[in-house]
Amino acid sequence: MTTIAEPVTATATPNEPNKKNRIQVSNTKKPLFFYVNLAKRYIQQHNEVELSALGMAIATVVTIAEILKNNGLATEKKVLTSTVGMKDESKGRLVQKAKIEIVLGKSEKFDNLMAHSAATTKSEAATEDDKK
């Protein structure tokens, strides 16, 4: 089996500015809901988030986007697919790797849903304190 270096945690490519609202997703480094919650925070701060992944992590990015859209928090603005030439570590040759970028915007209901979520979390915490 060929192992391929997967720089999903690297910063933006040299010809792009370093984006503050970009999340480069790995399917091995963090749990799914880490990325979902981070995306919510980026949408809150920047009104949109760009999710990016290579290879096997593409399914994770699509899942994150679908969770945010299905919960009414985000709307899909743009989806870009491409391939990236990467050096194969074991053979030293260039291989093509699939890449996806999904840009999600803040939905009209985002602020209300986030406020409701925060209030629900507070009331649940208060109920737990009452049980002690």
DSSP string, 19-44: -TTEEE--TTTS-HHHHHHHHHHHHH
Q: Which residues does the chain have with pLDDT short of 70? A: 1-18, 122-132
Domain assignments of the chain as residue spans, ordered by start: 22-131
pLDDT, one tens digit per residue, over 27-40 is 888 999 999 999 99
Per-residue pLDDT at 47: 95
Instruction: Tell me the per-residue pLDDT of 40-60, one tens digit each, with 9 for 90 and over.
Output: 999 999 999 999 999 999 999
Q: What is the pLDDT of residue 86?
A: 87
CATH of span 22-131: 3.30.110.20
Q: What are phi and psi of 5, to 5 degrees?
A: -65, 130
Question: ∠ CA 106-110-115 to the nearest 5 degrees?
Answer: 145
Alpha-carbon 79 to chain mean position: 13
In contact, 19 and 50? CB cutoff 8 Å: yes
pTM: 0.76
